[in-house]
Amino acid sequence: MGSRREADLYGPVKAFLELLGFVVKGEVNGCDIAAVRGDDLVLVELKVAFNLPLVLQGIERQRACDTVYLAVEAPSTRADKARWADVQRLCRRLDLGLLTVSFAAHREPRVDVICEPGPYQPRRDTKARLSLLREFHRRKGDHNVGGVTRRPIVTAYRESALLVAEHISRCGPSKPREIRAATGCEKAAAILQSNVYGWFERERPGLYRVTPAGENALKQYADVLTPPGEC
């Protein structure tokens, strides 16, 4: 893909459109490809790889034509394939068609229509919405700065685990029911038993203490903790 040029895509895309009955010409008023079939006008913008300039070109072409395609070389690297579903979703949202050109040794290049231009109504993910709202309402405060990733995100679960760790650190080894009564954390027992972050260890059956990792976490997330209560 590294040595491929936009001009390499032109021939296969032109041949593909001609098989559909279009008359095709390149570089018409700045458009990479213009194709006409009767009253139908199709515009295609070419790029070796999918990028923002290509999207902006496609949007600009929509001012002159309803049927606009973006054409790129078919993804081959792991990184390109990983984001391919997002690329298709973006094109559909913008009413842009998407073509890919596949090159293989000893074969003619192949053009595939990935999506057609046209109105797109995305399907709402109800489970994702409910999960987001549930996490939002379970959090006691706003302890994350959007876009900043210097420390792990303070989730509702992490808030609860910190609350449990703070109580044990302040009051000494404790039983789950004592922690639950003092902090109001209904999941105290599950948090201690699962020990997701490695902050707790069992001193003896039913009695837990905080590990050095937990003490470090209490310092790192000191801004999250509410004023201590009574032991």
The residues spanned by each domain of the chain are 6-115, 141-220
Residue 106: per-residue pLDDT: 79
Residue 224: per-residue pLDDT: 87
pLDDT category of residue 226 using cuts at 50, 70 and 90: low
Q: Which two tokens stand for residue 183?
A: 């902090």
Q: Does the structure show a pLDDT above 70 at 201?
A: yes
SS3 24: strand
Q: Which CATH class is domain 6-115?
A: alpha beta
User: CA-CA distances (angstroms) from residue 210 to 92, 174, 201?
Assistant: 51, 10, 6
Q: Does the structure show a pLDDT above 90 at 83?
A: no
Residue 1: per-residue pLDDT: 47
pLDDT (tens digit per residue) in 95-146:
999 999 999 887 889 999 999 998 766 677 788 888 888 888 888 887 877 6
pLDDT (tens digit per residue) in 149-174:
677 888 999 999 999 999 999 999 99
Residue 65 phi, psi (nearest 5)? -155, 140
Is the CATH number of domain 141-220 3.40.50.720?
Answer: no
Global pTM reads 0.62
Residue 16: per-residue pLDDT: 96
| Residue 192, burial from CB neighbour count under 10 angstroms (0-12, 13-18, 19+) | buried
Contact present, 148 and 165 (Cβ < 8 Å): no
Residue 230: per-residue pLDDT: 61
